[in-house]
Structure 1
């Protein structure tokens, strides 16, 4: 019997949600254990979600979007300051996220590949940031120095490489460096951090 698209979507959602629960609890996403939890075979699970790396990328991309949207709702500033506050809030939230620390401790190379290469995580970060840039630009509160998608991608990449500096050989996350660079790109001065 062929699986209908709706059933496939439902089963995929179930698998992603179950993997998200494991991730948020600080556990390792194991495809055999996940298949058992869902009451399906491994082949069925792979058919629904792709391979383990694709599943983890989906879990991390959804976590990224949830965090960015939560931070965005809390930002009350406008213009370039809104973008800086959104980026700062996101970076600080990610830097403090225990599930992410657990994951990067276990699988640093996989995380670097998923987070710093073009893919789901970068795409969702860029899309949410592009929405905010577009809103500020269309309202006349921000003049964009680059096309919105290029600017959003540039900001995301600057932030990622500085945020994940410890995974790339640095001592600590370089959040202030990233924010100073974003402010420079946006053509605004940033208040010094304390």
Structure 2
């Protein structure tokens, strides 16, 4: 219930205002913080919930197998993120918070993205030694973050096409 309420609040406001959210959920601000820990943690949960939906949609639309399938999922995911107006607005208005939540270990978003990328590799039929695959997934996610969150990183829009050769190079043969 809390995550659903927070997600709806985020979609309406393109941010999370903890005071306003507590009022919407009819709980005190202190209770809200006890339940979620911090605004960053709650944002991380909301972003991951949205990211999971985007990944599922991208995987459902992707075709092919192997490296081509992985790249198709990634391309579609990048397009979905680019079209997410609330996320674009949040990143524009709160770039430091966005960087902290999306790109660091302050929340589990990045770690979950690496685990999801490993699943995408496996579903596409790409396998290898587990530690090596994890390193590849980590690097793959970092490169994808550079594409979808380039504005946070100080670079205006890096197109997927530019990153695709590097992404393909990270995939096992």
Do the structures match in fold with TM over 0.5? Answer: yes
Output the aligned Cα RMSD: 1.9
| Contact 2:136/2:171, CA 8 A, preserved across alignment | no
| Contact 1:64/1:124, CA 8 A, preserved across alignment | no
| Contact 1:16/1:59, CA 8 A, preserved across alignment | yes
- TM-score normalised by L of structure 1: 0.80
Aligned to 1:84: 71
Q: The residue matched to 1:168 in structure 2 has which SS?
A: coil
Instruction: Report the Cα offset of residue 163 of structure 1.
Output: 2.4
Instruction: Report the Cα offset of residue 56 of structure 1.
Output: 0.6
The answer as to 2:113 corresponding to 1:125 is: yes
Aligned to 1:177: 162
| Contact 1:26/1:98, CA 8 A, preserved across alignment | no
Q: Which runs of 4+ in 1 moved over 3 A?
A: 142-146
Aligned to 2:124: 136
CA deviation profile, 1:144-184 (whole Å, cap 9, x unmatched): 48722222111000110232222222122332222221112
The answer as to 2:6 corresponding to 1:19 is: yes
Q: How does 1:146-157 map to 2 (within 5 A)?
A: 147-157=132-142
Question: Could you tell me how far apart the structure 2 residues matched to 1:177 and 1:144 are?
Answer: 26
Instruction: Report the Cα offset of residue 100 of structure 1.
Output: 0.4
CA deviation profile, 1:56-87 (whole Å, cap 9, x unmatched): 11101111111101111111211110101011
- Structure number with greater Rg is 1
CA deviation profile, 1:93-123 (whole Å, cap 9, x unmatched): 1112111011112211110111121332212
Aligned pair partner of 2:58 in 71, 91, 101:
71
- TM-score normalised by L of structure 2: 0.89
Aligned pair partner of 1:55 in 42, 45, 48:
42
Which 5+ residue runs of structure 1 have no aligned equivalent? 1-13, 189-194
Which 5+ residue runs of structure 2 have no aligned equivalent? none
Q: The residue matched to 1:166 in structure 2 has which SS?
A: coil
| Contact 2:14/2:87, CA 8 A, preserved across alignment | no
